[in-house]
Amino acid sequence: MNQTPVLKINASRLQQRIHELAQIGKIGETGVCRLALSKEDRAGVDLVKSWMEEAGMEASIDPFANLIGVKRGSDPNAPVLMLGSHVDSQPYGGRFDGVIGVLGAIEVIQTMTEEGFVPACNIEVVAFCDEEGCRFNKGLFGVRGMTGKLEPDELERTDKNGMTRREALIQFGCDPADFEGYSFQEGRIGAFLELHIEQGPVLESLDAPVGIVSGISGPLWLTVEMTGFAGHAGSVPMPMRRDALVGCAKVIVALNELVQQVPGAPTVGTVGSLTVFPDSRNIIPENVSFTVDLRDIDLARRNALEAELLSVIDNVAREHGLAYTIREDTNSEPRYCADWIKTTMREEAEKIGIAPPELMSGPFHDSLTMSYVCDYGMIFVRCKEGISHNPKEYSSPEDIALGTELLYRTAVQISTERWRIQP
């Protein structure tokens, strides 16, 4: 940064709202738990809705529990510029993941209103429902609902307490019956912009407060269930056991080794959730269910690793006399940001004296789904030590303000110059 930039957005107002929202579902000093479609999620959505209205937007909740605020532009028939992210969290999450993308977008609109700026198109700010996917084991629900990409069994997915997504939606205040009358209008959205914390250490290592995202790695989510046979832990000889947990452990170790085969590659693999039955210290585990999260920006490499992993699972099952099933929960190819949006961001960044580096996103975001219906761009904000999905997640007020200012200036530019040349 060559000089201290002059910001048009109200940084103190933005920080106050981040603080207020963090009180809903607060755990410990800095943690947050606002699971999708929970009462805490609803309270958060209601608070955010009030800020949308304060910023001059018309706000409502759609059938998929997405909160949508609309700022009217001079041409209501022009393609919409959409901004947003999510406010649901992980069960052991931080204050900034998703939140700065929604509250930053509201600050963009409120600044436009205060500046007397009228965009050429309608601008919509969206807090998408259930981006995280931790409650029903499949994320990006709201954005996939909005864009017509839900799967047949979506509403029957259950959380750990046996509640279906259908029941949770009804408790939240939405009627799944309204899905029937909804259809996505192709071409309605011209572009989507998302502000988000990086959730990684790259920007901090470069001493850069913000970055421009070049693309999002393609995530593959699997749920694997391995079944053996329960027996007494003290009496069944080791060679005669069909221990599902031993099989699971070998798969976990193999996954960890597979994703590190290419030095320097951004490939990552994680087993983040595991359930053991009958879960007793002196019974050989009969059944184990575990998740696999495999990501890479290189789709061919990820596909090759998936094939190797499936072979490992099959070989381990044969070795230990286990049956197994594999369910694919999410499978997306890598998606790249629009060059014209990145160019606009770079030009606007230069005007405020910064030169954001370009970097890939390992985590997926609502932008991933939006990329299938319109051009998209993302701005990353530096986060301390790359920590996220953890109460210690932290981005400084100064960095968040700078990222929001870049979002504001990019949105102003796109909603004037870009839309002016639309047919």
Give the residue numbers of the binding site for Zn(2+): 86, 97, 132, 196, 389
Structural element, H or E, at residue 229: none
For the annotated binding site, the residues are 86, 97, 132, 196, 389
Integer Cα distance of 80 and 88 in angstroms: 24
Q: Which two tokens stand for residue 9?
A: 């957005």
Q: Which of 159, 164, 131 is nearest to 146 (CA)?
A: 131
Task: Scan for tokens 């976990």, then name that residue.
Answer: 252
Integer Cα distance of 228 and 243 in angstroms: 6
CA 33 to chain centre: 15
Question: Which DSSP string corresponds to 293-353?
Answer: EEEES-HHHHHHHHHHHHHHHHHHHHHHT-EEEEEEEEE---EEPPHHHHHHHHHHHHHTT
Start-to-end C-alpha separation, the chain: 38
Q: Which two tokens stand for residue 307?
A: 């094939």
Q: Please name the residues in contact with 145: beta carbons below 8 A apart, sequence gap of 6 or more.
A: 62, 63, 64, 66, 129, 179, 182
CA 270 to chain centre: 16
Integer Cα distance of 132 and 89 in angstroms: 6
